[in-house]
């Protein structure tokens, strides 16, 4: 069977500057013919950090349903696949971009069904934003764990200003360094097998000295294991969501602010963090289409 596929760039101000995503659109008639094994095979072959499959909703309260695959496994939720899939859904031929439920200020909401349940998104002009899901683990990092993480990053534990579990699914640990420059200077070593006890999904942040408007307030880098090595993700929605919850609650940052990510990878990802009147964190960004076609499965 042939299914439409869109390759989009998420958290990108221009093509090829953010985090790529493949979105395969599955019709009602094709849904029953597509197996888990086939979806995993496609995601493995695309070899992107995530590939999503966009289905009609099974929950009457949702606009669509998404399944999110890495090259090796399925995820219940991830940030940049959520924004990218919502963008593809809102921009399908024949669909009015204003489809969805009205909210205050003329914005529109879209409701995604995925492995963690229903996730609300807002259409904010040319950007989309998702409401940060609750963390499943937060709080201090043990000293022994912090020493192991610091060694993995080739820094002294004293270089870490603050540390906290910021896990909303993948297993993130958040480390705050003294500056954005310190974050950009990181040169992690080979994967330490002992890190299996804490992830290792390491999110590192450091603030920029001067910022405002569209200038980044914080620099973010994300590290995680792939095939026995420590890899870096270009731009990470789930991490920015939980970092924002931690850093705003602790008074380290005030929303709204802009986070930069992917700089050391030659990307210029931009994540727009805001907070509503209920103190809920919203994580937004722009999406750019790069390739459109079909995939034969």
Q: What mean pLDDT is predicted for residues 256-278? A: 97
4-28 mean pLDDT = 97
143 and 55 share one domain: no
Residue 203 contacts residue 230 (beta carbons within 8 Å): no
Chain position carrying tokens 């909703």: 57
Number of domains in the chain: 2
Q: What is the pLDDT of residue 9?
A: 98
Question: Could you tell me the pLDDT band of residue 212, with boundaries at 50, 70 and 90?
Answer: low
Tokens 């700089």 -> residue: 263
Q: Does the pLDDT of residue 211 top 80, yes or no?
A: no
Question: Who contacts 270 (Cβ-Cβ below 8 Å, separation ≥6)?
Answer: 11, 12, 13, 18, 214, 216, 258, 259, 260, 285, 286
Question: What is the domain-level CATH number for residue 94?
Answer: 3.10.310.10
Angle between helices 237-249 and 79-90 (to 10 degrees): 120
In a shared domain, residues 50 and 96: yes
| Residues forming a β-bridge with 68 | 52, 75
What is the domain extent for residue 224?
137-278
Q: Are residues 142 and 244 in the same domain?
A: yes
- The encoded tokens of residue 131 equal 């409401």
Instruction: Give alpha helix (H) positions in 19-123.
Output: 28-31, 36-46, 79-90
89 and 150 together in one domain: no
Mark whether 93 and 187 lie in a shared domain. Answer: no
- Same-domain status, 157 and 106: no
Mean pLDDT of 137-164: 95
Same domain, yes or no: 166 and 265? yes
Distance of CA 147 to the CA centre of its chain: 26
Among candidate residues 135, 156, 160, 153, the one with its CA nearest the CA of residue 248: 135
Average pLDDT, the chain: 91
Domain match, 153 and 271 both: yes
pLDDT by residue (tens digit) across 151-203?
Answer: 999 999 999 999 999 998 888 999 999 999 999 999 998 887 776 655 679 99
| Confidence band, pLDDT 50/70/90 cuts, at residue 103 | very low
Q: How far apart are CA 261 and CA 266, in angstroms?
A: 10
Bridge partners for 73 per DSSP: none
Residue 81 has pLDDT above 90, yes or no: yes
pTM over the 0.95 mark:
no
180 and 201 in a common domain: yes
């Amino acid at each position: 069977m042939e299914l439409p596929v869109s390759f989009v760039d998420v958290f990108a101000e221009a093509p090829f500057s953010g985090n790529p995503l493949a979105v395969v659109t599955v019709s009602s008639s094709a849904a029953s013919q597509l197996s888990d094994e086939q979806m995993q095979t496609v995601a493995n072959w695309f070899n992107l950090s995530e590939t999503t499959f966009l289905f009609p909703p099974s929950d009457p309260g949702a606009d669509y349903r998404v399944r999110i695959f890495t090259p090796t496994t399925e995820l219940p939720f991830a940030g940049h696949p959520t924004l990218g899939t919502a963008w593809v859904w809102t921009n399908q031929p024949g669909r009015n971009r204003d489809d969805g439920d009205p909210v205050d200020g003329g914005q529109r909401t879209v409701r995604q069904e995925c492995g963690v349940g229903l996730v609300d998104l807002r259409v904010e002009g040319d950007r989309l934003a998702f409401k940060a899901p609750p963390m499943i683990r937060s709080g201090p990092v043990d000293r022994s764990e912090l020493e192991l993480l610091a060694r993995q990053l080739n820094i002294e534990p004293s270089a870490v200003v603050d540390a906290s579990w910021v896990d909303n699914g993948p297993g993130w640990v958040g480390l705050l360094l003294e500056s954005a420059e310190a974050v950009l200077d990181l040169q992690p070593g080979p994967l330490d097998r002992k890190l299996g006890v804490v992830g290792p999904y390491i999110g590192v942040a450091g603030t920029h000295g001067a910022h405002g408007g569209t200038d980044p307030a914080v620099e973010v880098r994300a590290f995680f294991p792939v095939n026995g090595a420590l890899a870096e993700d270009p731009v990470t929605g789930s991490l920015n969501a939980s970092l924002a919850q931690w850093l705003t609650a602790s008074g380290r940052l005030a929303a709204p602010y802009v986070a930069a990510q992917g700089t050391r990878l030659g990307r210029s990802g931009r994540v727009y963090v805001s907070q509503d009147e209920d103190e809920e964190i919203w994580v937004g960004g722009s999406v750019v289409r790069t390739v459109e076609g079909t995939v034969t499965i």
